[in-house]
Amino acid sequence: MELWTSAYTDRPTSWQKFLLIFSLIIFLGLCLVYMGFLQVYRISSDIMKQPMNILVMGVDAEKISDSGVRERPRTDTMLFIAVRPQQRKVGVFSIPRDSLVEIPGYGIDRINMAYVYGGYELTKQAVEEVMGVSIQRYVLINFEGFKELVDLVGGVEIEVDKRMLYTDHSAGLEIDLQPGTQTLNGEEALGYVRFRRDPLGDITRVGRQQVFLLTLAEKIMAQSRALIFKLPSFYRIGREHLQTDLSFMDIIALYRLSRRLNLQTDLITSTLPGEFSGPFWSLSTEKIGRMLQEFMR
């Protein structure tokens, strides 16, 4: 009788079987997650070994003409970003929107017209010709996405250098900012980076854009852990207002690199050199070449 009872009680119950199977599933799941993490780490590490040039374009929303045809917008902001992971530095080079360049198939025109004529591909060709190097990736974000991104991080503290008052109803632009240090929300920030009523026009404006983007980057990096809880909102903004050919692994690699950078010393900002030619900006190919050579060192 005792032998029979012992044999019976040693058999696992249904609950014990469930716990065993559940534990096995959890273990296998953790193994898969760990293997996936190693794969992401390996691939992103390989990406970080190679230089990458990214073209960033800021545009208004697409418009519908009176005849019902969808029209491409002009690029209001254009940045050539040179990522050099091995040297642990990133160069952000602003391309003035009124720069006169050779647009393949269209002749000499302002560089911000390239997107109107042929979208990203034609813009890429024009910028590659100017910079003398190839572009691997691009990011296109519209004004609404920019405003929502600034609001999502709680605004950006900036010292507004002058009274900014300007209205353009046709462009839906209304800027009204007082001078002084203040936290700009998305709408105000867009006005700040678009304002160009200055003696040097767009050249002064791109300088403000560089200051603003650096400040925004610093805030995002400082809040990176807290912003994890806002990832769904970041994803929605990206899905609705951003276009890019950056892969998931590219983004992971760039994030890992950003964690290693000192934004004050490892992030270099500059405007493509040139001189005024009437209301336009005439780029200096020679000076651009020297500027890039200096950065590559």
Find out whether 94 and 271 touch, Cβ atoms under 8 Å.
yes
- H/E stretch holding 24 reads helix 14-47
The helix/strand/coil state of 198 is coil
Is residue 166 located within the same domain as residue 285? Answer: yes
Q: How many distinct structural domains can be found in the chain?
A: 2
Q: Give residue 44's identity as a one-letter amino acid code.
A: S
Is residue 36 located within the same domain as residue 75? Answer: no
The answer to whether residue 10 is domain-embedded is: no
CA distance 38 to 48: 15
Is residue 62 located within the same domain as residue 175? Answer: yes
The answer to whether residue 152 is domain-embedded is: yes
Rounded to two decimals, what is the model's pTM? Answer: 0.84
* pLDDT value at residue 256: 83
Is residue 23 located within the same domain as residue 80? Answer: no
* pLDDT value at residue 109: 96
* pLDDT value at residue 68: 65
Q: Residue 224: count other Cβ atoms within 10 Å of its Cβ.
A: 12
The answer to whether residue 99 is domain-embedded is: yes
The answer to whether residue 6 is domain-embedded is: no
Residue identified by tokens 């929502």 is 148
Is residue 32 located within the same domain as residue 154? Answer: no
Is residue 187 located within the same domain as residue 101? Answer: yes
CA distance 64 to 170: 14
CA distance 195 to 51: 33
Is residue 158 located within the same domain as residue 32? Answer: no
CA distance 183 to 203: 24
Is residue 109 located within the same domain as residue 198? Answer: yes
Q: Which residues of the chain have pLDDT under 50?
A: 1-8
The helix/strand/coil state of 140 is strand
Question: 27, 47, 67 — which closes off a domain?
Answer: 47
Range of the domain at 140: 48-296
* pLDDT value at residue 4: 45
Strand partners, 277: 280
